[in-house]
Amino acid sequence: MKAELSFAPLAQIENELLAVVAVDTQTEKGPDARPQPVLLTEDETVKAAAAHVLASGEYKAGTNETVLIHAPAGLKAKRLLIVGLGKQAKATLHTLRNAAGTAVRYTKPRGIRELVFALPAPDSLFAAAGARAASEGAFVGDFDPDTYKSDRKDQSVQSFTVAAPAGAGEAAVRAAFAEGMIVGESQNFTRSLVNEPGNVLTPTEFGRRAFAMAEATGLKCDVYSTDKLHELKMGAFWSVAQGSAEPPALIVVRYKPEGVTEGPVLGLVGKGITFDTGGISIKPSDNMEKMKYDMAGGAAMLGAMRAIALLKPRVRVIAIVCATENMPDGKAQKPGDVQTAMSGKTIEIINTDAEGRLVLADGLSYAKQLGATHLIDAATLTGAIGVALGMVNAGVFSNNDEALGQFQAGLETSGEKFWRMPLGEEYADLIKSDIGDIKNTGGRYGGASTAAEFLRVFAEDTPWIHLDIAGTAWIEDARPYIAKGPSGIAVRSILEWVRSYGSQGSSSSSAS
């Protein structure tokens, strides 16, 4: 999709479709209260063209509610689309992002290939940041998962233009717009990986695509396999990989900004199970086809690294993705086996379907060995997180309030929903083993917290954040602003967390 920025008057923009946003300004409550939709634009011609629709009472400016006006009077655009942001008091950059995605998804099936999306005015809340949100939302909205349909029709929006109000601070708006393109495309890069079937995106292919992304963006990437796992004594990672005919891939991507030799080193660790049968503890057949997305955490780390490489924060970052299949081969590990992790900790295997925490255990240890001072991991780790939070919030756990505070502060920009979940000795007691150090599952209750406590053993005292995205990595039903399928969750939030450390990197004339 070609994306552009314009500061021209809205009425003078010649295009197939002009989209503007509206809010409901009604503040009263009660049976007699009626929505009062108002366009967020200063262009009087646009207001006049939409006046009869807004006055009719049929359009309420509800969140992502749309109405189309053909041949709008006085405008050079062929169509005028109004997209609602909901109640004025609740309008945010996140609702604006979704409105841009809604506008794109509205046009796609209608054969409309050109779209202009007008930023709200006058409103300082949506100044430059609005340009970023709109371009992010547009790219996310343009993605569809129908990659392998033989009769696939190209319904992409070919030209998307953000129209910014005059006097909005052109330099800042241009920078924010370009940033939004990078973030949106990086989220879609993650979604494209998650969308691939397991017979295409094997661990080896996962490594190839990581390497190609790194090469294209100037990152350093190494992809290792079985010999490296044995060399590093990654017994937990190998215990999962040993049951598959496909070799594992240990993907290491490094970002080092020029001149930064001091300060934190951030370790990004992702679960990359390219297909999860459950192993010997095999899953039920219903919905098993979706287990191709069990590598969404690893894909999120690669998407974040793509954005990091292009936006260049002043902090060193190492990403590690532990990629393998979990299969019930004759060589697969069995319940009751005891495995030795890279850290030396011994793990009693209770359930071979609790495999993600095993690969992450060695990934976290390796990140620390490579110099990471702060850790964040992402994984479709437990069904329990979906039971606890539904398909709305992802879970976040941490052993460090300061690191978590920086992550949570970034959610205002990312717009993603994470809810802090508990850790504690009571959960840790549930994974104590009689034969080894720990068990790989703590039973039915509190499953998301016991899984996080398992990972905490390997993070040790290093500031650490764990993102359990199992309930939100796959969208079961299409929404007005995003297609059914992979969500790409965590890319934006991980990026903002990394950027929060950017000012802490020290510059030096010499490189280490």
Kindly state whether residue 216 falls inside one of the protein's structural domains.
Answer: yes
Under the banding of pLDDT at 50, 70 and 90, the label for residue 29 is confident
Does 501 have pLDDT greater than 90?
A: yes
CATH number of the domain that 317 lies in? 3.40.630.10
pLDDT at 122: 67
Q: Are residues 219 and 365 in the same domain?
A: yes
Q: Are residues 221 and 82 in the same domain?
A: no
Helices (H), 312-400: 356-369, 383-389
Does 226 have pLDDT greater than 70?
A: yes
Does 64 have pLDDT greater than 60?
A: yes
pLDDT at 156: 83
pLDDT at 187: 98
Strand partners, 42: none
CA distance 476 to 374: 33
Annotated catalytic residue 499: no
Catalytic option among 271, 357, 368, 499: 357
Which one of 117, 135, 166 terminates a domain?
166
Which one of 102, 132, 166 terminates a domain?
166
Residues near 261 by Cβ (< 8 Å), separated by ≥ 6?
506, 507, 508, 510, 511, 512
Kindly state whether residue 173 falls inside one of the protein's structural domains.
Answer: no
Preceding omega of 122 cis (within 30 degrees of 0): yes
pTM (predicted TM-score): 0.96
Q: Are residues 88 and 119 in the same domain?
A: yes
Does 325 have pLDDT greater than 70?
A: yes
- Domain hosting 218: range is 185-505
Mean of pLDDT values over 410-423: 97
C-alpha R_g of the chain: 24
CATH number of the domain that 69 lies in? 3.40.220.10
Lowest mean pLDDT among 248-257, 381-390, 495-504: 495-504
Does 69 have pLDDT greater than 60?
A: yes
Does 32 have pLDDT greater than 80?
A: no
Q: Are residues 322 and 429 in the same domain?
A: yes
Does 143 have pLDDT greater than 90?
A: yes
Q: Are residues 29 and 151 in the same domain?
A: yes
Give residue 462's identity as a one-letter amino acid code.
Answer: T
Q: Are residues 211 and 83 in the same domain?
A: no
Percent of the residues in the chain that have a pLDDT greater than 70, as a whole number: 97
CA distance 416 to 120: 22
Q: Are residues 153 and 243 in the same domain?
A: no
Kindly state whether residue 431 falls inside one of the protein's structural domains.
Answer: yes
Does 508 have pLDDT greater than 60?
A: no
Contact 289, 219 (CB under 8 A): no
**pLDDT by residue (tens digit) across 231-256?**
999 999 999 999 999 999 999 999 99
CA distance 323 to 328: 17
Residues near 240 by Cβ (< 8 Å), separated by ≥ 6?
248, 273, 279, 324, 326, 333, 355, 358, 359
Q: Are residues 337 and 251 in the same domain?
A: yes
pLDDT at 439: 98
Q: Are residues 231 and 148 in the same domain?
A: no
Q: Are residues 198 and 53 in the same domain?
A: no
Kindly state whether residue 172 falls inside one of the protein's structural domains.
Answer: no
Going by the DSSP 8-state scheme, the letter that residue 111 receives in this structure is: T
Going by the DSSP 8-state scheme, the letter that residue 165 receives in this structure is: P
Catalytic option among 47, 174, 209, 283: 283
**pLDDT by residue (tens digit) across 439-461?**
999 999 999 999 999 999 999 99
**pLDDT by residue (tens digit) across 339-351?**
999 999 999 999 9
Does 158 have pLDDT greater than 70?
A: yes
Contact 485, 195 (CB under 8 A): yes
Mean pLDDT of the chain: 95
Mean of pLDDT values over 77-96: 96
Neighbours of 473 (CB within 10 A): 28
Kindly state whether residue 44 falls inside one of the protein's structural domains.
Answer: yes
Q: Are residues 160 and 195 in the same domain?
A: no
pLDDT at 33: 77
Kindly state whether residue 89 falls inside one of the protein's structural domains.
Answer: yes
Mean of pLDDT values over 209-235: 98
Under the banding of pLDDT at 50, 70 and 90, the label for residue 125 is low
CA distance 9 to 4: 15
pLDDT at 512: 25
pLDDT at 511: 31
Annotated catalytic residue 357: yes
User: For 383-391, which contacts have Cβ atoms below 8 Å and span 24 or more sequence positions?
Assistant: 383/447, 383/470, 384/446, 384/447, 384/448, 384/451, 385/421, 385/448, 385/468, 385/469, 385/470, 385/471, 386/470, 386/471, 388/421, 388/448, 389/419, 389/471, 390/471, 391/471, 391/472, 391/475, 391/476
Does 507 have pLDDT greater than 50?
A: no
pLDDT at 97: 97
Kindly state whether residue 178 falls inside one of the protein's structural domains.
Answer: no
Going by the DSSP 8-state scheme, the letter that residue 482 receives in this structure is: B
- Give me the number of domains the chain comprises: 2
Does 170 have pLDDT greater than 50?
A: yes
Contact 274, 294 (CB under 8 A): yes
Q: Are residues 402 and 484 in the same domain?
A: yes
Kindly state whether residue 180 falls inside one of the protein's structural domains.
Answer: no
